[in-house]
Structure 1
Amino acid sequence: MTTIARRAFLGAAALLASPALLRAQPAPRLLRVGNQRGGLRSLIEASGVAQDLPYRIEWSEFPAAQPLLEALNANAVDLGTMGDLNFFSVYSSGAPIKAISASRSDGASQAIVVRGDSGIRTVADLRGKRVAAARGGWTHYSLLAILHAAGVPFQDVRFAWLLPAEAALAFRTGEVDAWSIWEPYTSLEVLNFGTRVLADARGLTPSASVLAVNNRALAERREQLQDFVRRDARAWAWAQENRAAYARVTALAIRQPEPVLIRAYEVNHTRAVPIDAALVREFQQAVDQAHAWGVIPGKVSVADAVDQSFTRDLGT
């Protein structure tokens, strides 16, 4: 290479590498999505709705809703999905997050289970018994709602606040008498360990999950978020029609037997629903009761915690 050519090449390389020019390049369109194991990512990928995405998804994995919500609060991810009461609990602490879409499961997806040989036959039989549950969120609230509906004072039951892995061991070894649980854990216990469902939360809780976003993403990535909400709704519609295929993909992700997941999906009957005035009222009633029972630490105005514009075209 001649000296002149070499200088020209080095000059061009320096120009291309200059910080000013690099800053001038448009950033790639990106959504940073938080995923709970076997959750949103499995649904999106199994359904095929992400095949023609006009932006890139950067997935981050979380073991549960709480660390995912902490990441949302810190703007480490743009969006993620979690149970309604988990979301409202963190929102009540001042986190800069909003819910932009929702999916609803049947209330039977939240239940109290007992061992098959247990003498506990009714909710009233839980008086004086030790019941495991995860503090905060769905099964804390549904446990109290089931007890309240049966007229059992909360102080008559001994609560053991345990996460699912700890609760499963305590339940199977007899350290606790019952377990307030959700799917697919319920189906795993029923099919593999002969567990009985004592009562479920039908008619007692919204049984919803929300897609929550950081407020910065809401301001900067609205177009991508709207597209993702539509794809998420299509994915849930696909899942209802293709439970076996959905279970097959998720089983590989979370290493659970396919029959367990198929049963769980049949019980859940999860579908996308619009965040409309009726759902806001239902959420508000549940959140107010959850606050009164100590499940949620602060009061929440649900209308301020949600953005109803994203799901107006989803129908009912």
Structure 2
Amino acid sequence: MDGLHLLSDRRTFLAGAAVLGLAACGGAGKSGRTKLVLGDQVHLLQSKAEAAGALTALPYDIEWANFVGAAPLLEALNAGAVDTAPAGDLPVVLAAAAGVPLKVIAGSVSSTRDIGIIVPPGSAIRRVADLAGHRVIVSSARGSISHYLLLEALKEAKLDRRKVDIGFMLPNDAAAAFAAGRVDAWATFGTYQIAAEARGARLLRDGQGINTGLTLIAASQKALDDPAKRSAIRDALARLRTASQWAQAHPDAYAAVFAKATGVDPKLAKLIVDRQNPVLVAPDAAVVKPLQRVVDRFHADGELPVHVDVASIVDPRVFPA
């Protein structure tokens, strides 16, 4: 098994990053001030910060880098293209297990309904046990939260995983394949799941009782070792925490900004915000303990190449008091 198996294709991503102009993170922006490159997925953090007005009058420069999934975002963190990366719990652990120098600096807990195995409208598949002999696509790579849900759901249904044709695609590609009827079922999450359900997809199993619902924010060790960047990251976390508190108190206003930033239908944006509007918290025992249980189980299944002590990849000192 490839030690960096959280990535579907390392070289393809790096080539794409070059095309997109993702420069390696420098210590200073054009003004000579410290510069942070904040990674994001589907504009969730950026739209929340902008809706709350949380990133104004900054004593440092920031740049946002948006990605479609955890695998390319964490590869960007490894390559030095971003300083921070929000991602699901297991992708971050897999990146650390593969040698990516990172630390978890914050967390949040969303509804575990926000991860699901879905089938197209009219599908004859009615339960997880019916997936035998069928093609199931996972977003976005081995070790994703969707992959974990699928494997645990198959065990729950007493269905041998070898009887299911499991494939992996980045979320946008998986969405296109699912919409075109090229796959029988899709293990996905978040915006992609909600959009598919809005178009009639049927849920077989969500993450309740299986997934943690955790999203983690990881920072590169290089950024944390730079005193100026570490200070800027700490300040940014404080602002993002304030933004998350504001968004929980003003979900309609946040949904409107999210819809504008992403171009999704406002009704769909409201559904997304209802499920994905958690408050940012410190990576304390309430984050570490449930994640360690999942890591232990994933390792026992042979999906995690080396066992990871979650506490060893956490830096709780960065999160503002």
Q: Which residue does the alignment assign to 1:164? A: 171
CA distance in 2 between counterparts of 1:223 and 1:172 reads: 45
User: Higher mean Cα deviation, 47-56 or 87-96?
Assistant: 47-56
Q: Residue in 2 aligned with 1:253?
A: 261
Unaligned runs of 5+ in 2: 1-30
Q: Is the 8 A contact 2:234 2:320 kept in 1?
A: no
Answering whether residue 206 of structure 2 is matched by residue 200 of structure 1, we say: yes
Return the offset for 1:273.
2.8
Deviations 1:217-258 (A, max 9, x none): 212222222211221222122222222222222222222112
Partner of 1:121: 126
1:299 is aligned to 2:307: yes
Question: What's the Cα RMSD here?
Answer: 2.1
Counterpart for residue 144 of structure 1: 151
Q: What secondary structure is seen at the aligned counterpart in 2 of 1:272?
A: coil
What is the alpha-carbon distance in structure 2 between the residues aligned to residue 270 and residue 214 of structure 1?
A: 23
Deviates further, 52-61 or 133-142? 52-61
The amino acid of 1:279's aligned partner reads: V
Equivalent residue letter for 1:229 = L
Task: Give 2:202's aligned amino acid.
Answer: R
Contact 1:233 1:272 survives alignment (8 Å):
yes
The number of residue pairs the alignment matches comes to 287
Of residues 84, 89, 92 in structure 2, which corresponds to 1:84?
89
Aligned to 1:239, what secondary structure does the other structure show? helix
Q: From the CA coordinates, give the structure whose radius of gyration is larger.
A: 1
Is residue 288 from structure 1 mapped to residue 293 from structure 2 by the alignment?
Answer: no
SS of residue paired to 1:308: coil
- 1:152 and 1:65 map into 2 onto residues whose CA distance is 28
Q: From 211, 218, 221, give the equivalent of 1:215.
A: 221
Match of 1:100 among 75, 89, 105: 105
One-letter amino acid of the counterpart of residue 262, structure 1: K
Q: Secondary structure at the match of 1:299?
A: coil
Are the equivalent residues in 1 in contact too, given 2:118–2:187 (CA < 8 A)?
A: yes
Give CA deviations for 1:50-78 in whole Å, capped at 9, x if unaligned. Answer: 12322221233434322322232233322
What percent identity do the matched residue pairs reach? 37
Segment of structure 1 superposing worse, 57-66 or 135-144? 57-66
> Could you tell me the TM-score, scaled by structure 2's length?
0.82
What secondary structure is seen at the aligned counterpart in 1 of 2:43? coil
In structure 1, the gaps of 5 or more residues are 1-25
Task: State the partner residue of 1:15.
Answer: none
* Distance verdict in 2 for CA 1:71–1:165, change over 3 Å: closer
Which of 263, 267, 275 is equivalent to 2:271? 263
Structure 1: distance between partners of 2:66 and 2:205: 32
Contact 2:134 2:184 in 1 (8 A): yes
Q: Please state if 1:231 is matched with 2:239.
A: yes
Q: CA deviation at 1:105?
A: 0.9
| Contact 1:141 1:295 (8 Å CA) reproduced | no
Shift of 1:307: 0.8
Aligned partners of 1:130 and 1:178 also within 8 Å: yes
SS at match of 2:137: strand
Would the alpha carbon gap of residues 60 and 229 (structure 1) be closer, same or farther in structure 2, given more than 3 Å must change?
A: same
Aligned residue number for residue 22 of structure 1:
none
Structure 2 residue identity aligned to 1:91: A
Task: Return the TM-score normalized by structure 1.
Answer: 0.83
Check the 8 A contact 1:187/1:261 in 2, yes or no. Answer: no
Following the alignment from structure 1 to structure 2, what is the Cα–Cα distance between the partners of residues 102 and 212?
9
C-alpha contact 2:68 2:171 (8 A) present in aligned 1: no
- Partners of 1:35 and 1:278 in 2: CA distance: 23
CA deviation string 1:108-137 (max 9, x = no partner): 100011122122222222222221112221
**Counterparts of 1:100 and 1:59 in 2: how far apart (Å)?**
18
